[in-house]
A = this chain, B = another copy of it.
Amino acid sequence: MHQKNACFLVIGNEILSGRTQDANIQVLACALNEQGIRLTEVRIIPDIAERIISTVGECRARFDMVFTSGGIGPTHDDITALCVAEAVGVRLIRHEESFRRLETHFASKNFNEARQRMAWLPEGATTIENSVSVAPGFSIGNVHVMAGVPKIFAAMVKWLVPQLEGGTPLVSASWHSPTLYEGDLAQGLEAIQSDFPHLDIGSYPYERKNGRGVALVAKGYDPAAVQSAAGRIHALISSLGANPIEGEPAPDQT
């Protein structure tokens, strides 16, 4: 079965300048996995209209779905809705239901021109609800536009993604060892990958405050094959004289 693929456009100078550490990619990736949608590209681009328009235009044609984060607030650098309308080829119009909600939320004296801008969406868009903020995200065609603020982004993902048509969920199984090195298991791991061509067999060195090691991961859409490959990974680690530990290594305690 064809797995739907997705591209995530992170719109924001603040990530590219190093000011802000991204917190949204992992949230979206994990939600899409559960829904059987594969995140196959992420692009982080600046708040420049021509870059947003051309990138949305290219990616909505190349991927089954496009998700965006950032640029839907009330300030001058919030230009995502306008750019997505342009890329999709529709007008920006006032979304009446969103306008009324914002008007109710803000006292009439605070519902200024800047805040009213948040109710202007591409014609034909449907809103993405969230429990945190009254400012709407929206979907138009295969483009899903969400907020950049992590708490609001996560709430929008939680509301939206379970409604999207996906496929079989991605599943994975892992073993790790603090005494092995990638160079020692590369040959054995390649043999496992050859025997399971439809799975991703990955090898990930890790560093922790109290030591290092390698995690080996089998990932794919066939749970039985993933379990078989994980059994082979276990046997490979054992055959090299190490003690396989199930799952991923624990993160450092902070």
Considering the chains assembled together, what is the distance between the CA atoms of A190 and B112 in angstroms?
Answer: 14
Do A33 and B17 touch (CB < 8 A)?
Answer: yes
Q: Is A110 an interface residue (CB 8 A)?
A: yes
* Contact (A43, B43) CB under 8 Å given A189-B76, A254-B254: yes
Q: Is A13 an interface residue (CB 8 A)?
A: yes
Shortest distance from the beta carbon of A233 to any chain B beta carbon, whole Å? 12
| Nearest chain B residue, comparing its CB with the CB of A43 | B43
Considering the chains assembled together, what is the distance between the CA atoms of A13 and B203 in angstroms?
Answer: 11
Copies of this chain, complex-wide, total 2
Contacts of A182 in B (CB 8 A): 73-75, 114
Q: Is A97 an interface residue (CB 8 A)?
A: no
Q: Is A106 an interface residue (CB 8 A)?
A: yes
Q: Is A179 an interface residue (CB 8 A)?
A: no
Contacts of A142 in B (CB 8 A): none
List A8-30 residues whose CB lies under 8 Å from chain B.
10, 13-22, 25-30
Considering the chains assembled together, what is the distance between the CA atoms of A46 and B219 in angstroms?
Answer: 13
Contacts of A42 in B (CB 8 A): 10, 15-16, 42-44
A interface residues with partner B (beta carbon < 8 Å):
10, 13-22, 25-30, 33, 38-47, 73-77, 106, 110, 112-115, 149-151, 170, 172, 182-187, 189-190, 193, 200-205, 207, 217, 219, 248, 254
27 A/B residue pairs, CB under 8 Å, sorted by A: A13-B202, A13-B219, A14-B217, A15-B29, A16-B29, A16-B38, A16-B42, A17-B29, A18-B27, A19-B172, A20-B204, A25-B44, A41-B46, A47-B200, A73-B183, A74-B186, A76-B190, A76-B201, A77-B200, A77-B203, A106-B183, A112-B184, A112-B187, A113-B187, A114-B182, A115-B186, A150-B207
